[in-house]
Amino acid sequence: MTAVWEAVPVAMPRGGGLLWVDDLCHLGPDYLARYFRPQHQGIAPRVLALALRGAAPEVADHVLAHAAPELAAAVRAHGAVDTNRAEVLQAQLAVASVYFWEMAYHGYPEVYERFSARQQPPLDEMFPPETYRGRTVLDVGTGGGRLLVHLDGHAAELYGIDPCPPLLGIAGTKVPGAILREGGFDRLPLADASVDAVISHGAYQISEERGGLAGLAEIRRVLRPGGTARIAVAKAETARHLRSTGATEIPVRGAIEWTAPPKTEDPLLHHLLRLARVAFGEDGRATTPVWLFEVG
């Protein structure tokens, strides 16, 4: 193996976030080539270069071998800059924070699926099954297939899109009749005007890498004339963004209801719940708000 650059060994901080830069190895070649755009997340090529210099050499090789050529070239250009462990650690913290969720569900899909199982969104209110009866429906960011299960037997045809193949595999075991494809908001792998409805819960985000204006344009592209799109989000910041785009807000009476996992559960699961800012009461339950928007 040819060294990408002179490595700067940095150990993951004690008591840290359980996943660190070396977990970028779980992002597959197709994801890195099509969706890995750290500059859209505020991570400059120099910062990514510093972070990877403290990663295992095979991790740096993997990322740069499969990332977009222009990104890989920009990162390599910073490989010889003088640096120190403190600067590398800071860069790793930035990258690990931004890509924590991607590393979690690409590398540990079974834990992410258990995280998803702890929550119960008000799906009947937001996505009434009778609304989708006999229609061709696309679920973007389908994950383990919760919305597909919700509409199975109601929609005439169900598509599920997600950038994570392991989670698509889980969804396929739940709804064998669904058509599952790897993809994301930025480039939906469907033809123009091919679906009657688009739905999404918890997947759309502000950045162009994970949604943004490009994602809304893609949703409109695949909708047939008269089609509808509903996007549910769990962050107030994302809700403000969707309001600013002119999307129509639909009031939601219910909330996401959570049940706490046993203390003996995987520490990563507990960490995901903390990152999601779920504060359980003494009864082991919690609620968090959800916002719903219609995109025309």
The residue among 199, 225, 195, 218 whose CA lies nearest residue 135 is 195
At 281 the pLDDT is 97
Angle at 239 between CA 254 and CA 138, to 5 degrees: 75
CA 132, CA 139: separation in Å to the nearest integer? 12
Instruction: State yes or no: pLDDT of 13 exceeds 80.
Output: no
Contact between residue 232 and residue 200 where contact means Cβ atoms under 8 Å apart? yes
Mean pLDDT of 162-185: 95
For residue 170, the SS3 value is: helix
Mean pLDDT of 151-176: 96
CA 181, CA 172: separation in Å to the nearest integer? 10
Mean pLDDT of 197-214: 93
For CA atoms 235, 284, 260, 252, the dihedral sign is negative
At 95 the pLDDT is 96
Confidence band (pLDDT; 50, 70, 90) for 1?
A: very low
- Looking at this protein, which amino acid is placed at residue 26? H
The whole-model pTM stands at 0.89
- In percent, how much of the chain has pLDDT > 70? 96
Go through the domains of the chain in sequence order and give each one's CATH number: 21-98 (1.10.220), 113-295 (3.40.50.150)
Contact between residue 191 and residue 138 where contact means Cβ atoms under 8 Å apart? no
For CA atoms 49, 36, 143, 177, the dihedral sign is negative
Contact between residue 65 and residue 27 where contact means Cβ atoms under 8 Å apart? no
- Looking at this protein, which amino acid is placed at residue 216? L
Mean pLDDT of 31-58: 93
The residue among 156, 152, 160 whose CA lies nearest residue 200 is 160
CA 49, CA 81: separation in Å to the nearest integer? 9
